Chains A and B, each alone.
Chain A
Amino acid sequence: MIRAKVILIITVLTAVLLSQAAALSEPTYPPHEDPATAREEMDAYSFLTYYTSILTSISSKNYGDASRLIEQLKFVHTPEDLKYIIQRYNNLTLELTTTLNSLDRLLNDASALLYQYRLQEAYEKLSGASILLGKAEILLRDIEEATATISGRLGVFTAPAGSRVSEAYGRIREALRRLRELEEWYLNLLKSMKETALKIEAEGLKTTEVTLRLNATEAYVGGCVEASGTLTSNGEALPSRKVTLLLDGSPTLTATTGLDGTYHAVVKVPYKYVHTLTLEALYTPMGDDLGVYLASESPSVSITVIFYETMLEIAAPDTAYPGLPITVKCKVTSEDGTPLGGRRVKLLLDKSLLIEAETDIQGLFEANVTINPKIQAGQHTLTAIVEPYGIYAGASQDRKLTVSKITPEIRIRAPSLLILPAEIYIEGEVRSSLGPLEKATVTLELAGSSAIVETSQDGGFNATMEIPLNLLLAGFQELKANVEPVEPWHAPAQATIRVFIVNPANIGVASAAFISLGAIIYARLSKAKPRRKQIQELTPILREARVAPTLKPEVKVEGVRGRVVEAYFKAMRIIEAKTGISMKPYMTLREFLSEAKPKLNGVAEAFTELTILTEKTLYSPHTPEAADSMRAEELTLNIWRMLSSGAA
């Protein structure tokens, strides 16, 4: 019971003290909060203000700025319950920005085409613009609704009138109104352009026709083709007019028609290593032709571009090491294997230029390139690019390059036995497949002590470590050596050896504890032994008492103890006589008590107490006092009285 109480007290005390210690360890002024448990919140005012900036940018047709601001919204924190709706809101706004931007471009294009009397193309652009305007209308309606919903969720409508949030909401409503105005403006512009187109159509302008012929449908890259054609209107030649030749849709040159409406031009095939190019002739009315003729475009004609392929072979090691050079060889040839000298070759690693040089007369290129010392270990891509040259196209080839680090080998020599406190001399070497590691930092750790040394030229190192006394008694400890090489191509390495450590101080403490414990146990045992002897000696007396109760014990137990035992004998004799139950030689006091108890009735309690008192006197280290003997005698007297009077 006492033990349980002690454990309970210790547990409670420890828990209280520890919780206090943990609580007190918090700094008085917290410099941060735990982000995992931080309260989520969204500032309605800031959010609405930011969105007002976005919508204002859109309404001012600054679509680029608006897109940039929307892009920044990914850094705005949105609580989980608002995440979806705000994400949708952001997407809708971005879509509206893109749509209005495209609409703007289409209308600009259409305007230019109308100016050139290119009615057909202008109609196509205006049709696209109509679709985009319809889309913008839907998006704007959605954004207006979403603005109201989000504002409601942010508590805007419950904010007092005149508050910052209400004012911000007012501003965003104003920005939305301006967006509506912008949409109206685009609608009006579209309508006006359509009217212009219809007006041009109604003017009954004369149609024109431009043709295009080429003297060849094949040409070398960098070569030329002759282009010719005629410009007519209802079969009538149109002289002195400008015809623009479009190469792949881009104006390349302008030719002037002659008296017979024909034009001639020499078109240079650009150094564009594609197999096909398209050429078109375009007539747009200018000057006096404005308001008289419509624009026209010839059907497109294809030119097959001829050039030679360049063949590239690359040879490089599969593995490279940071900071160490590798040799890369390239061979550049034509399709038939002819070496191509003087070709510019670029060598790139993960798209970063390593080296640039020309091939020799045999079409060979060899370079020693050093790998970036900071490069991450792993798979990388080595790319060789041959620049195009004349009729030869360029070529490129990728090659996988594994970048890894060499793990050095560490050898440690140290005594295998150590008696604390001690100095330990440790030596060793660090080497790799490339030789010894110089100036590598070696961190040695043993039994809580550490030392840092540098390797010498031959990769060797040595250190003397002081190992103080610690909690160890005796046992194996790991001597760890961590090596941090200076060369980027070497990886850090670790090695361990085991050292048997003996700590005489702790062994001394432990021995002292054992000696103390042994001494206590010995003292207890030596105290208890005589008592056992006394009991052995008392057993015949007890036996004798049963057979001849009147006889006195031969061996006397003297003093207070003797008086207690004597009182017990007396009570025992009385009980034997009254109950007929006798104390047998093999019986313990407690066995006698349990056998006699059912017949003792009123004196059972008194005899139990007496038995316990006697046991305590005989078997425990407790030294009986006078009060104990008096109590024993009192109990015996009570037993005698009660049994004699027949009260029991």
Chain B
Amino acid sequence: MEPHKLLPTLMLTTLILLAALIWFYPSTGDFRLDNPFWNGLTTFTTKFKASTIESLNNLPSTVKGTVLILIPYSQLTEQELEKLRSYVLKGGTLILLDDYGFGNQVLSHLGLEVKFTGSPLLDPLFNYKNKWLPKITDFPQTPLTGNIKSIVLNHATALCNTSESEVLAWSSRFSFLDLDGDSVWDPNEPTGPFPIVAYVKVGEGCVVAVADPSIIINSMIVLGDNMAFMENIVGLGGEKSKVIIDQSHLPIGPLEEAKETIAETYTLASSPIGTLSLITLILALTLYPIWKKR
């Protein structure tokens, strides 16, 4: 085949092959519902029959009996914050999982004192393998923590200003906040115990702030009593609460972007006009050389 014919063919084939591979390759993004790897949420999703929303505009109109899981890794708009406020005030349960993201933006908008410190919480003694994976073993006796012995965190932070809220979990007195990021405790760095999970009633609903979103990823949900703990918290929404996970504020990797683009292209192509255009294009491209020769 002549080079001027080979090149477009090769490009087209590669493009189709690549698109197919990207489409069928599972998502690898953090906290993605369709990510079956260690950092995805497939186990959590299956266990809680969770559904996903790609925008806070898609929050259910009947909020009672629903639990919204929000991992705010990107900034929220005023409109989104207002949607969240309305959701909670009307009786929805918001589980806010954050470590170094924009959780405080949500808490401030809801008028709550409790905040995420945003500094890494390390525990050199009570941990799973190393100090970045602190093990939490101090739980006040509440219905939400009665059956919990330990939960394991992963690159977490801590909460502060929890005076108005009910703290459900505390880190050990060996934990500390690594303010300068050198992974070693320095005399000016605060030491534990720190509040890790706090519960606050807001309007008819409630907010549970958890200082680590990673406790629900596939590799972490099976450690310690993480699953049972999440079951208890999700149970706040009611006996058969419907779990919704917001995916619109998660970090988007190129793979997710590519998948989205392919999905959009597919949606476009599957519309009647798109399909007709596609047929016309195929016919035009294939029949043009024949028509030209004649």
Chain A: residues with CB nearer than 8 A to chain B? 2, 6, 9-10, 13-14, 17-18, 21-22, 24-36, 38-41, 43, 45-47, 49-50, 72, 75-77, 373-374, 421, 468-470, 484, 486, 488, 505-506, 508-509, 512-513, 515-517, 519-520, 523
Extra A-B contacts (20), CB below 8 Å, given A32-B217, A43-B124: A2-B1, A10-B10, A17-B14, A18-B18, A25-B28, A25-B29, A25-B254, A25-B255, A31-B213, A32-B30, A32-B214, A35-B152, A46-B124, A49-B174, A77-B127, A373-B239, A469-B271, A484-B240, A517-B286, A519-B290
Contacts of A519 in B (CB 8 A): 286-287, 290
Q: Judging by beta carbons under 8 Å apart, are B223 and A35 in contact?
A: yes
Within 8 A of A (CB), among B247-294: 251, 253-256, 258, 270-272, 275-276, 278-279, 282-283, 286-287, 290, 293
Contacts of A77 in B (CB 8 A): 126-130, 135
Contacts of B160 in A (CB 8 A): none
* Bound form: Cα–Cα A25–B32 in Å: 12
With A6-B6, A10-B14, A38-B130 in contact, is A31–B155 under 8 Å at CB?
yes
* Bound form: Cα–Cα A458–B287 in Å: 59
Q: Which of A22, A25, A512 contacts B283 (CB 8 A)?
A: A512
Return the chain B residue nearest A24 by Cβ.
Answer: B254
* Bound form: Cα–Cα A26–B286 in Å: 40
- Cβ of B17 < 8 Å from any Cβ of A? yes
Within 8 A of A (CB), among B64-112: 73, 99-100
With A9-B10, A14-B14, A25-B253 in contact, is A75–B126 under 8 Å at CB?
yes
8 contacts between A and B (CB under 8 A): A21-B254, A31-B30, A33-B133, A35-B152, A41-B129, A43-B131, A72-B137, A488-B239
With A9-B10, A10-B14 in contact, is A75–B239 under 8 Å at CB?
no
Contacts of A512 in B (CB 8 A): 279, 282-283, 286
* Bound form: Cα–Cα A486–B270 in Å: 37
Q: Judging by beta carbons under 8 Å apart, are B255 and A22 in contact?
A: yes
Determine which residue in A26, A488, A515 has the highest number of CB atoms from chain B within 10 A of its CB, and name it.
A26
Q: Which of B21, B25, B129 contacts A38 (CB 8 A)?
A: B129
Return the chain A residue nearest B257 by Cβ.
Answer: A25
Q: Judging by beta carbons under 8 Å apart, are B155 and A76 in contact?
A: no
Q: What is the CB-to-nearest-CB distance from B215 to chain A, in angstroms, rounded to a whole number?
A: 9
Return the chain A residue nearest B20 by Cβ.
Answer: A14
Q: Judging by beta carbons under 8 Å apart, are A24 and B275 in contact?
A: no
Q: Judging by beta carbons under 8 Å apart, are B240 and A513 in contact?
A: no
- Cβ of B154 < 8 Å from any Cβ of A? yes
Q: Judging by beta carbons under 8 Å apart, are A374 and B275 in contact?
A: no
- Cβ of B150 < 8 Å from any Cβ of A? yes
* Bound form: Cα–Cα A517–B275 in Å: 19
Q: What is the CB-to-nearest-CB distance from B3 to chain A, in angstroms, rounded to a whole number?
A: 10
Q: Report the 5 A-B pairs with minimum CB-CB distance, sorted nearest first.
A: A25-B253, A516-B286, A43-B124, A25-B255, A46-B125
What mask results when residues 5 to 42 of chain B are scored 1 for a CB within 8 Å of chain A, else 0? 01000100110011001100100111000000011000
Contacts of B293 in A (CB 8 A): 523
* Bound form: Cα–Cα A183–B152 in Å: 39
- Cβ of B196 < 8 Å from any Cβ of A? no
Q: What is the CB-to-nearest-CB distance from A335 to chain B, in angstroms, rounded to a whole number?
A: 42
Q: Which of B1, B25, B154, B275 contacts A469 (CB 8 A)?
A: B275
* Bound form: Cα–Cα A488–B126 in Å: 40
With A38-B133, A40-B130 in contact, is A46–B21 under 8 Å at CB?
no
Contacts of B22 in A (CB 8 A): 18, 21
Return the chain B residue nearest A26 by Cβ.
Answer: B253
* Bound form: Cα–Cα A506–B28 in Å: 31
Q: What is the CB-to-nearest-CB distance from A516 to chain B, in angstroms, rounded to a whole number?
A: 3
Contacts of B28 in A (CB 8 A): 22, 25-26
- Cβ of B132 < 8 Å from any Cβ of A? yes
* Bound form: Cα–Cα A39–B132 in Å: 10
Q: Judging by beta carbons under 8 Å apart, are B253 and A27 in contact?
A: yes
With A10-B10, A512-B283 in contact, is A17–B220 under 8 Å at CB?
no
- Cβ of B117 < 8 Å from any Cβ of A? no
Return the chain A residue nearest B174 by Cβ.
Answer: A46
Chain B: residues with CB nearer than 8 A to chain A? 1, 6, 10, 13-14, 17-18, 21-22, 25, 28-30, 38-39, 73, 99-100, 124-133, 135, 137, 150, 152, 154-155, 174, 213-214, 217, 219-220, 223, 239-240, 251, 253-256, 258, 270-272, 275-276, 278-279, 282-283, 286-287, 290, 293
* Bound form: Cα–Cα A469–B266 in Å: 10
Q: What is the CB-to-nearest-CB distance from A484 to chain B, in angstroms, rounded to a whole number?
A: 7
Q: Judging by beta carbons under 8 Å apart, are A14 and B18 in contact?
A: yes
Q: What is the CB-to-nearest-CB distance from B243 to chain A, in angstroms, rounded to a whole number?
A: 13
* Bound form: Cα–Cα A13–B256 in Å: 20
Q: Judging by beta carbons under 8 Å apart, are B239 and A39 in contact?
A: no
* Bound form: Cα–Cα A225–B254 in Å: 90
* Bound form: Cα–Cα A253–B174 in Å: 53
Return the chain B residue nearest A470 by Cβ.
Answer: B270
Return the chain B residue nearest A469 by Cβ.
Answer: B270
Q: What is the CB-to-nearest-CB distance from B236 to chain A, in angstroms, rounded to a whole number?
A: 14
Q: What is the CB-to-nearest-CB distance from B207 to chain A, in angstroms, rounded to a whole number?
A: 21
Contacts of A517 in B (CB 8 A): 286
Contacts of B155 in A (CB 8 A): 30-33
Q: Which of A6, A13, A35, A373 contacts B154 (CB 8 A)?
A: A35
Q: Which of A2, A27, A36, A47 contacts B30 (CB 8 A)?
A: A27
Q: What is the CB-to-nearest-CB distance from B17 to chain A, in angstroms, rounded to a whole number?
A: 6
Q: What is the CB-to-nearest-CB distance from A153 to chain B, in angstroms, rounded to a whole number?
A: 16
Q: Judging by beta carbons under 8 Å apart, are B287 and A14 in contact?
A: no
* Bound form: Cα–Cα A34–B240 in Å: 32
Determine which residue in A21, A24, A30, A38 has the highest number of CB atoms from chain B within 10 A of its CB, and name it.
A21
Q: Judging by beta carbons under 8 Å apart, are A509 and B275 in contact?
A: yes
Determine which residue in B99, B125, B282 has the highest number of CB atoms from chain A within 10 A of its CB, and name it.
B125
* Bound form: Cα–Cα A33–B6 in Å: 45
Q: Judging by beta carbons under 8 Å apart, are B270 and A520 in contact?
A: no
* Bound form: Cα–Cα A36–B290 in Å: 60
Contacts of A421 in B (CB 8 A): 272
* Bound form: Cα–Cα A33–B270 in Å: 40
Q: Which of A18, A24, A32 contacts B39 (CB 8 A)?
A: A32
Contacts of B131 in A (CB 8 A): 41, 43
Contacts of A43 in B (CB 8 A): 124-125, 131
Q: What is the CB-to-nearest-CB distance from B219 to chain A, in angstroms, rounded to a whole number?
A: 5
Q: Judging by beta carbons under 8 Å apart, are B279 and A508 in contact?
A: yes
Contacts of B223 in A (CB 8 A): 35
Return the chain A residue nearest B255 by Cβ.
Answer: A25
Q: Judging by beta carbons under 8 Å apart, are B10 and A25 in contact?
A: no
Q: Judging by beta carbons under 8 Å apart, are B129 and A35 in contact?
A: yes
Q: What is the CB-to-nearest-CB distance from B145 to chain A, in angstroms, rounded to a whole number?
A: 15
Q: Judging by beta carbons under 8 Å apart, are B137 and A34 in contact?
A: no
Contacts of A2 in B (CB 8 A): 1, 6
* Bound form: Cα–Cα A516–B14 in Å: 21
Q: Judging by beta carbons under 8 Å apart, are B125 and A468 in contact?
A: no
* Bound form: Cα–Cα A45–B122 in Å: 14
* Bound form: Cα–Cα A39–B282 in Å: 55
Q: Judging by beta carbons under 8 Å apart, are A45 and B282 in contact?
A: no
* Bound form: Cα–Cα A516–B287 in Å: 6
* Bound form: Cα–Cα A512–B284 in Å: 10
* Bound form: Cα–Cα A9–B3 in Å: 14
Contacts of B100 in A (CB 8 A): 29, 31
Contacts of B282 in A (CB 8 A): 509, 512-513, 516
* Bound form: Cα–Cα A200–B150 in Å: 55
With A469-B272, A519-B286 in contact, is A509–B279 under 8 Å at CB?
yes
Q: What is the CB-to-nearest-CB distance from A113 to chain B, in angstroms, rounded to a whole number?
A: 40
* Bound form: Cα–Cα A508–B278 in Å: 10
* Bound form: Cα–Cα A72–B10 in Å: 64
With A75-B126, A516-B282 in contact, is A13–B14 under 8 Å at CB?
yes
Contacts of B99 in A (CB 8 A): 31
Return the chain B residue nearest A527 by Cβ.
Answer: B293
Contacts of B128 in A (CB 8 A): 35, 38, 77
Contacts of A509 in B (CB 8 A): 275, 278-279, 282
Q: Judging by beta carbons under 8 Å apart, are A18 and B25 in contact?
A: yes
Return the chain A residue nearest B99 by Cβ.
Answer: A31
Q: What is the CB-to-nearest-CB distance from A366 to chain B, in angstroms, rounded to a whole number?
A: 29
